[in-house]
Amino acid sequence: MHTTHCQYVLIAGQSAVDVVIASIGGRAAGNHDLVAKTAARLLNSLANTQQRLIWVGGAGSLGVAPGVLLVSSPEFPSEFKDEALAQGEALNIFRANNKATQWTFISPAAQLSPGESEGTFRIGGDAFFTNSSGESKISVTDYANALVDEAENAVHINQRISVAY
């Protein structure tokens, strides 16, 4: 299903849909409340099913220091701040979820750019991390590879993970 604001990708299993992958953003319509509301709705809709939810998140809610999020750092681009805060609200909804829904929230690196696979990426948790050159980046190809790996293998159930080189 595709609407102006939401995109759902369904991976079909043997008898039904096994994984729902949701990529939600409110920037186009200027409606960032949509992000958290959709997270809550999907968690409720998938409760008590065998379907897992993978959420395409953002980097803004990653920690850069104890108690400090990337979105609150001075160098965070102002044009993405509302979107990052909305993704952070969605993450809070996931963490407060008391339903039986299995979910994974996947945050990309700060720089998500077109490009081929670079082959090796790292999986982290809540902390913002960089490569040996001090860059936080990942190609959309490798981000997609990480997402599909999680969809197929279900390694990080009810966790937020981050993906970067």
Contact 134, 86 (CB under 8 A): no
The reported pTM is 0.87
Q: What is the pLDDT of residue 81?
A: 95
Among 111, 108, 115, 102, CA closest to 153: 102
Q: What SS3 state is found at 116? A: coil
Within the chain, strands assigned E span 6-12, 17-24, 52-56, 63-65, 68-69, 102-108, 111-113, 122-124, 137-139, 159-164
In this prediction, residue 2 carries a pLDDT of 30
Q: Under CATH, domain 6-164 is a member of which superfamily?
A: NAD(P)-binding Rossmann-like Domain (3.40.50.720)
CA-to-CA distance for 24 and 31, rounded, in angstroms?
Answer: 11
In order along its 165 residues, the chain shows pLDDT tens digits of: 333 334 444 444 444 789 999 999 877 677 788 999 999 999 999 998 989 999 999 999 999 999 999 999 999 999 999 999 999 999 999 999 988 899 999 999 999 999 999 989 999 999 999 999 999 999 999 999 999 999 999 999 999 999 999
Q: What backbone torsions phi and psi does residue 134 show, to the nearest 5 degrees?
A: 80, 15
> Residue 4 has what pLDDT?
32
Q: For strands 111-113 and 102-108, give the pairing.
A: unpaired
Contact 51, 9 (CB under 8 A): no
